[in-house]
């Protein structure tokens, strides 16, 4: 049996008994206008619009599209809408379970359908990043010859996970995470639409807020939780889904956390101050509260990167590397796995030696610049590579440090207005202790200071 027959059989069951399908399936958009979010991809004349045949004139839409974005934001839905709008055969495969044999069967079926019945095929391949190079290679002839319209979906960066020949033959579309407003509109539609709950129940405001938090930008998760809450309310003879009913239905307690209010900033502040105070357990508590409340993982990752420089700095130079790597991983994998990455980074920062010396140094330098202490650059440091620079004395007297034993030339670098200022005062904590010894030796060589002598004058 060809894979598309499984899809056809599933669609037949849904048509015979729509109520038996999950709410997320019943509420699947039928046109691009019903798609939630992704406004940047649905503008008039966009590749997706042309792919479904909207508009006249101009080149045809792309024959191969790669949809990149986090789970639950409509990648499968867009592929389904394309097939429905163009009246094409829709075949869905998952790279988790399918292999080259299944792909070739679909391609062969598409060629027969195109030649014998004149009906083109949309092949939706989910999780394409799980295909090996050889498996992805098997798609190239079908894409090259337009035997199928390939719509592939991935949650991982396609520049790392998809082979170059396939990527170069495809249009890459980046889907954005759904906002609370996007999900709110979808929930309201599902509550009233005859394909959804048809007005059988209403949703209390507190329950709606909790539903949005646990959805975490995932439309499928939002509709699944809504369906569970509606089923529980109806079973109890209630006309409204309350917060208590929803909590019981999804087995998730509501966390008091307003992502746009004081709690958002209070908990974020407590997380950073717990890291600064080296309390790893409190750090994990506040991190868990932010995750459970549906906080944007990118916001958490940004706060951790700031903490790595502001509170740790050169006491552990690897802290920022860890935080940046964590932020990149979070952007690639998203929740729920991103919670592990965030935990790893937060624990590392909480237990790292602390120093705010780099933070204080740049603020002190900025204060002087803002106060007008930004005198002319010393003549010997000015650019001397243009015609006439020598006549102005630019570059004259500059000592090339690499020509000096030890690589440190005794000459003035700062403008006269701040010459002798000491902005960076390293601590003796962690790896920064090494910098403390180095900076004293360097200052002594540069300005003839004795180690530990303060000539800053402020």
pLDDT for res 249: 83
Range list of β-strands (E), 50-97? 64-68, 89-94
- Asked whether residue 254 carries a pLDDT value surpassing 70, the answer given is no
- Three-state SS at 93: strand
The model's pTM: 0.51
Length of the chain: 458
pLDDT band at 324 (very low <50, low <70, confident <90, very high): very high
Give me the mean pLDDT over the 202-223 stretch. 85
Residue 20: count of CB within 10 angstroms of its CB:
10
Domain 262-351, second-level architecture: Up-down Bundle (1.20)
pLDDT value at residue 5: 37
CA–CA gap between residue 43 and residue 41 (Å, rounded) = 6
Phi, then psi, of 235 in degrees rounded to 5: -65, -30
* Least confident stretch, 92-101, 123-132, 393-402: 393-402
Q: What is the average per-residue pLDDT within 5-11?
A: 40
- At 322 the pLDDT is 95
For residue 33, what is the DSSP state? G
One of 1.20.1070, 1.10.3710, 3.40.50, 1.20.1300 is the CATH number of 375-447, namely 1.10.3710
How confident is residue 291, by pLDDT bands cut at 50, 70 and 90?
A: confident
Q: How confident is the model at residue 437 (pLDDT cuts 50, 70, 90)?
A: confident
Q: What is the mean pLDDT of residues 30-54?
A: 78
Mean pLDDT of 243-269: 69
Do domains 3-174 and 262-351 share one topology? The answer is no
> What percentage of residues in the chain have a pLDDT greater than 90?
20
Residue 273 confidence class, pLDDT cut points 50, 70, 90: very high
Q: How many Cβ atoms are within 10 Å of 24's Cβ, its own excluded?
A: 20
Tell me the mean pLDDT in the region 435-439. Answer: 83
Residue 361 scores a pLDDT above 80? yes
- pLDDT of 384 above 80: no
**For range 131-157, the mean pLDDT:** 87
How distant, in Å, are the alpha carbons of 245, 278, 284, 340 from that of 326?
A: 37, 19, 16, 10
Q: Which range among 71-75, 265-269, 387-391 shows the weakest confidence by mean pLDDT?
A: 387-391
CA atoms within 13 A on the CB side of 244: 2
Predicted confidence band of residue 402 (pLDDT cuts 50, 70, 90): confident
How far is 334 from 340, CA to CA, in rounded Å? 10
Query: Does residue 99 have a pLDDT over 80?
Result: yes
Rounded-to-integer distance, Cα 220 and Cα 222, Å = 5
Mean pLDDT value across residues 250-263 = 57
Q: C-alpha 197: how far from its chain's center?
A: 32
Q: Across 73-87, 102-116, 344-358, which has the greatest mean pLDDT? A: 344-358
- Helix 100-116 with 3-16: angle, nearest 10 deg: 70
Residue where the block lists tokens 């717990």: 274
Residue-wise pLDDT for 217-230, tens only, equals 788 888 988 998 99
The better pLDDT of the pair 48, 110 is held by 110
Cα-atom radius of gyration of the chain, to the nearest Å? 30
Question: Any idea where the domains of the chain sit in the sequence?
Answer: 3-174, 180-250, 262-351, 375-447
CA 423 to chain centre: 36
Alpha helix locations (H) across 293-431? 297-307, 318-333, 338-351, 357-370
Q: Between 163 and 34, name the one with better pLDDT.
A: 163
pLDDT at 260 over 70: no
Give the count of beta carbons closer than 10 Å to the beta carbon of residue 324. 15
Section 284-313 average pLDDT: 89
In this prediction, residue 302 has a pLDDT band, given cuts at 50, 70 and 90, of: very high
Pick the CATH number of 180-250 from 1.10.8.60, 3.30.420.40, 2.60.40.10, 3.40.50.300: 1.10.8.60
Could you say which of 3.40.50.720, 3.90.700.10, 3.20.20.105, 3.40.50.300 is the CATH number of the domain covering 3-174? 3.40.50.300
Measured distance CA(311)–CA(172) in Å, rounded: 39
Mean pLDDT value across residues 15-28: 72
Q: What is the mean pLDDT of residues 407-419?
A: 78
pLDDT of residue 123: 87
Query: How far is residue 280's CA from residue 269's CA, in Å, rounded to a whole number?
Result: 15
Instruction: Give burial (CB, 10 Å; 0-12/13-18/19+) of 397.
Output: exposed
238 compared with 389, residue with greater pLDDT? 238
For residues 395 and 410, give the distance between their C-alpha atoms in angstroms, rounded to a whole number: 15
Render 400-456 in DSSP notation, one character per residue.
-GGGSGGG------S-GGGTT-------SSTTHHHHHHHHHHHHHHHH-PPTT----
Residues 223-251 as b/e (b if ≥16 CB within 10 A, e otherwise) read bbbbbbbbbbbeeeeeeebbbebbbebbe
Q: Which helix (H) or strand (E) holds 149?
A: strand 149-154
Regarding predicted confidence, which is higher, 263 or 288?
288
């Amino acid at each position: 049996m060809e894979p598309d027959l499984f899809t056809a059989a599933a669609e037949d069951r849904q048509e015979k008994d729509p109520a038996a399908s999950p709410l997320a399936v019943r509420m699947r958009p039928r046109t691009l206008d019903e798609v939630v979010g992704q406004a940047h991809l649905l503008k008039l004349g966009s590749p997706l619009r042309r792919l479904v045949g909207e508009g006249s004139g101009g080149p045809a839409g792309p024959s191969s599209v790669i949809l990149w974005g986090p789970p639950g934001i409509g990648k499968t839905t867009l592929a389904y809408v394309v097939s429905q709008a163009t009246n094409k055969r829709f075949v869905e495969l998952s790279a988790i379970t399918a292999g080259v044999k299944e792909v070739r069967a679909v391609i062969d079926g598409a060629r027969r359908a195109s030649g014998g019945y004149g009906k083109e095929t949309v092949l939706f391949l989910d999780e394409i990043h799980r295909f090996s190079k050889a498996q992805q290679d098997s798609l190239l002839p079908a894409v090259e010859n337009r035997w199928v319209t390939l719509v592939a979906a991935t949650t991982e960066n396609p520049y790392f996970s998809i082979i170059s020949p396939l990527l170069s033959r495809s249009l890459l579309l980046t889907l954005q995470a759904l906002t609370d407003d996007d999900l709110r509109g979808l929930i309201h539609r599902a509550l009233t639409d005859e394909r959804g709950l048809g007005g059988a129940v209403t949703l209390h405001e507190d329950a709606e807020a909790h539903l949005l938090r646990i959805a975490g930008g995932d439309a499928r998760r939002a509709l699944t939780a809504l369906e569970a809450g509606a089923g529980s309310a109806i079973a109890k003879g209630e006309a409204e889904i309350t917060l208590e009913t929803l909590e019981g239905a999804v087995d998730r307690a509501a966390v008091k956390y307003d992502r746009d209010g004081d709690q958002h900033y209070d908990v974020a502040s407590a997380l950073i101050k717990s890291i600064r105070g080296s309390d790893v357990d409190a750090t994990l508590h506040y991190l868990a509260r932010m995750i459970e409340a549906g906080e944007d993982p990118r916001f958490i990752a940004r706060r951790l990167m700031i903490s790595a420089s502001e509170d740790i700095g050169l006491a552990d130079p690897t802290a920022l590397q860890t935080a940046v790597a964590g932020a990149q991983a979070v952007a690639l994998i998203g929740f729920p796995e991103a919670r592990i990455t965030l935990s790893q980074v937060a624990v590392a920062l909480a237990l790292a030696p602390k120093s705010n010396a780099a933070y204080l140094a740049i603020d002190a330098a900025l204060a002087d610049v803002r106060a007008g202490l930004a005198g002319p650059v010393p003549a010997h440091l000015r650019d001397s590579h243009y015609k006439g620079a020598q006549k102005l004395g630019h570059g004259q007297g500059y000592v090339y440090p690499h020509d000096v034993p030890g690589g440190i030339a005794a000459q003035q670098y700062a403008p006269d207005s701040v010459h002798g200022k000491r902005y960076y005062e390293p601590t003796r904590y962690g790896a920064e202790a090494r910098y403390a010894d180095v900076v004293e030796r360097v200052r002594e060589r540069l300005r003839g200071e004795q180690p530990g002598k303060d000539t800053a004058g402020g």
